[in-house]
Structure 1
Amino acid sequence: MTVILKKVPESEKYILRNFCSLYLHELSNFTMNLDVGEDGIFHYVELDNFWTVDGLSPYFIQLGGDIIGFILLLERPFLNKSNDYGINDFFILNKYKGKGLAFQAVEKLFKEKQGQYFVIQVAENRRAIAFWKKVYNRLNIETHERQDIIDDELCLIQTFKI
């Protein structure tokens, strides 16, 4: 089956909020900066901005009509002039990992939105780093990588042109 990317309408924000909690729970394995809220949910505090700030675009990753993940994309005018796109957050449910579906989603995104990109991974998240390196190799993408501290976390940042 083929994945599709669907822009998340504001009416489905609650679904994305639930997926973000799962994503942040997974990400909490690699950082001490994420804590569960008093209500037992990890909160993506800036999530509402994706419907109020120009240049923030949320996408569901769907397979056969089912939501299996999401991409939170940064675009212009939100971004400065050196990048056209930034993959802010990328998540696939565990049961769909290792099946090539995440790769399909990224490949589809790159076909639909071409330009200068950056992708950030928490340096401790070896699985994410390996995934992105595999993407770059399979798509023959030449990247420039650097390290930086973002929100008190050591991160790897790759920039590249599609």
Structure 2
Amino acid sequence: MTISFQFISKDEKHILQNLYSLYLHDLSEFTEGLDISEDGLFEFDSFDLIWESTGVTPYLLKKDERVVGFLLLLEKPFLKRDYDYSINDIFILKKYRRKGIALAILKELFNQKKGKYFVVELTENKPAVHFWKKTFLELNIEYEEEEKIVDNEECLIHSFEI
């Protein structure tokens, strides 16, 4: 099994847009703030800003050259100076979940990009909270946890250093 992540160019944005709709569909289970558009899609309002903002990097996640998800990494100058990175979104297609793919991707990402990180999960998104706590345990990462209201949603913020 070969796991990889690669930058998504603006020419490939349609791939991320399709995956993002699936991600938002999954996320809609845990928040009242997401609804389907009249076109039948879950849409991210500021999608083009991903390629227009310095410090926002989209990655396509692959297993054996097949697309299995995406990761959206935030870094300076987009982030405040307190942190070097934030994993804004990570999404694996349901067919590929619980197979160690996301863990392998994160392990490689952390090997390549050392620094101070944070991740934010909706408190109601128990699968995401469980995933991150399991990831911290398996990768032997010490973290701090804070409860906070973000965009009118109860969230957990995990901060850690690699």
Q: TM-score, normalised by structure 2?
A: 0.98
Q: Secondary structure at the match of 1:145?
A: strand
CA drift at 1:150: 1.1
CA distance in 2, matches of 1:113, 1:37: 36
Aligned to 1:64: 64
CA distance in 2, matches of 1:85, 1:46: 20
Aligned to 1:102: 102
Q: How does 1:119-138 map to 2 (within 5 A)?
A: 119-138=119-138
Q: How does 1:2-151 map to 2 (within 5 A)?
A: 2-151=2-151
Tell me if the contact between 1:2 and 1:104 (Cα under 8 Å) persists in the aligned partners: no
Residues 118-155 of structure 1 deviation map (CA, whole Å, 9 limit, x = unaligned): 01110001111111001100111110100111111101
Q: Secondary structure at the match of 1:54?
A: coil
CA distance in 1, matches of 2:113, 2:50: 18
Q: TM-score, normalised by structure 1?
A: 0.98
Tell me if the contact between 1:24 and 1:42 (Cα under 8 Å) persists in the aligned partners: yes
CA distance in 1, matches of 2:143, 2:47: 28
When the two structures are aligned, how many residues end up with a matched partner? 162
CA distance in 1, matches of 2:2, 2:144: 30
CA distance in 2, matches of 1:158, 1:95: 27
Identity score, percent: 47
Q: Secondary structure at the match of 2:24?
A: helix
Any runs of at least 4 consecutive aligned residues in structure 1 with deviations exceeding 4 A, and if so which? Answer: none
CA drift at 1:110: 0.7
Tell me if the contact between 1:57 and 1:73 (Cα under 8 Å) persists in the aligned partners: yes
CA distance in 2, matches of 1:2, 1:123: 32
Residues 11-42 of structure 1 deviation map (CA, whole Å, 9 limit, x = unaligned): 00011000000000000000000000010000
Q: How does 1:147-158 map to 2 (within 5 A)?
A: 147-158=147-158
CA drift at 1:2: 2.3
CA distance in 1, matches of 2:97, 2:158: 22
Tell me if the contact between 1:120 and 1:157 (Cα under 8 Å) persists in the aligned partners: yes
Q: Provide structure 1 residue ranges, at least 5 long, that are not aligned to the other structure.
A: none
Q: Provide structure 2 residue ranges, at least 5 long, that are not aligned to the other structure.
A: none
